[in-house]
Every structure is written in C-alpha cells, then in structure tokens.
Amino acid sequence: MKFIYYIFSILPLKLLYVLSDLMSFLLKKFYRKNVVKKNLINSFPEKNDNEINNIYNDFYKNLCDLFVEVIKAYTITSKEIKKRVIIENYEEIDKIIKNEKKPIVILATHQCNWEWLLLAVGVYFRRNFVCSYKQLSNKTFDEIMLKTRSKFGIKMIEAKESITYLNKNLNKLEIVALAADQSPRIDMKVYWQKLLNQETAFYRGIELLPKRFKSKVFFISMRRSIRGIYNVKLINLDSPPYELKKSEILPKYVDFLEKEIYKNPSDWLWSHKRWKVNKR
C-alpha cells in the first residue's frame, strides 16, 4: 500500500489533477451527498437551489483537488511548498515569535488545503512547532499521514496527549497549531457558539489553551489563488492578558471563520459531520 501511495505521489500534479477531475464527477453522485447538501442548506438558508448546487459542485472539485494534493504532499519538497503556499506576512510573524517567551497559538480551519498549510508553516518558520492531530483508524494510512505531516520538523501529538506534552515542554515550544473547527467527541465537555446559523460545539482548548499559557493567538487565513496555489495570512486574533472566566477567543475565531467561509464557501469541508453534537 505504501509503495502504491508513493508511486501516485511522484506523479506530476498536472496528471493528478486529471485524476481529480474524474473523481469529482463520480464522488458528487454518492460520497456523503446527503451530508453535504444538508450542511449547505442549513448554513445558507438565504441561498436558492441553484446557488446551493453551484457550491455543491465546486466543493467536490476542490475536495478531489485536496485529495490528490495530500497524496503529492508525501514526496513534495520544501522548495515546491514555498512556491505553492505563499505566507504573505511571514517576516512580521517571525519577528513576533522571536520576541515571545511563550509559544504563539495558531488557530487553523478546514479551508482550502490544511495539509499543505501545515507543511508550509513548518518550512517557512523552521521553529519548534507542535500540532495536535487525531489518530486514524487505519494503521497504514495513519503512518503515511504522520510521516507526511512531520517531514519538515513538525512535532505531531495525538490529541489525547497534547495537554500533557505542552505542559512538559512549554519552555521549548515556539508555535502550537490547532485545527479549531473540527467537531469534538460527543462525550467531551465543549463550548457552544453559533456558526452559520447553527448552535455549534467547539473544543474547550480553543479558549483555555492560550489562556493557560498566556499566549498570543493568530487566526490563519488561506485562500485559493489558482489551482494548486494558495495565499496565506496570519491575523492577530487576541493577546494576553485574558479574563479567565470570560469567553473571548472563541467568538473572535468563529467570526473570522464565518467570514472565510462566506467569501469562498466551496473551499470549506462540507462533507464533515460538523453538527453531529447537539446542544441539550
């Protein structure tokens, strides 16, 4: 399996995008079709059927591009990542990191290609960088993804172990990244915030982790410029001192997230069962 994955990964992106076009034609007919349609209709009640269908079709094109780009990430070089993911204000943020005595916290989203984004942050900053992730159920693919994500010196920590690791290594870390818009487990304590007209559960760590470490928080915006080329900007979301008993960071994150989605709705991960956790 790993060898086959490697063979696909070394193919030129132009050829992989041909595969993506074929896949999108098929996938939109059956892959999580009902989940995607339901999410879009509930999120954009103001849009008509034609507008929803346009987002639906474009979403599957982008999803399949993401799929082949993730495969390409297995063998992509740091030089090519820098050509394809341009971090516009890299130097400004790097100066902030140098001056901080604590790690900065980056809150990312499942917008565009978050896997290339992770690699790009590792390539551009070359700093002590830790990112939390959920272990995949398939052992082989988990090993492939772990190898891909950590290839440029990024330390990947399983979500269950992340707080313990951060507490032990706080003085060594410079960047901590969280994909903050994924759905938490049903059995977890969560914070609630309205997102896209729906009550939405979020990990408590989005609010608590920066406050625990008194860290500056950045929202990372990613836009698709053309196929296979992305522009990224880090935006200062909040800074200490914080009020421990007040929800400050999450509302600001959700506001930025909504704006990103409204500008480019087909680039968000609509096939994810984002609203499977219901408020009781």
Per-residue pLDDT reduced to its tens digit, 40-90: 999 999 999 999 999 999 999 999 999 999 999 999 999 999 999 999 999
pLDDT at 280: 64
For range 210-234, the mean pLDDT: 95
Q: Are 202 and 196 in contact (CB under 8 A)?
A: no
Tokens at 108, concatenated: 């990312």
In this predicted structure, the answer to whether residue 123 has a pLDDT above a threshold of 80 is yes
In this predicted structure, the answer to whether residue 22 has a pLDDT above a threshold of 70 is yes
Record the pTM.
0.93
Q: How many CB atoms lie within 10 A of CB 27?
A: 18
Find all residues with CB under 8 Å of 165, minimum gap 6, and list them: 130, 157
Strands, sheet with 175-179, edge to edge from the N-terminal-most edge strand: 85-87, 229-238, 217-226, 104-108, 175-179, 129-133, 155-158
Q: How many CB atoms lie within 10 A of CB 31?
A: 15
Q: What is the mean pLDDT of the chain?
A: 93
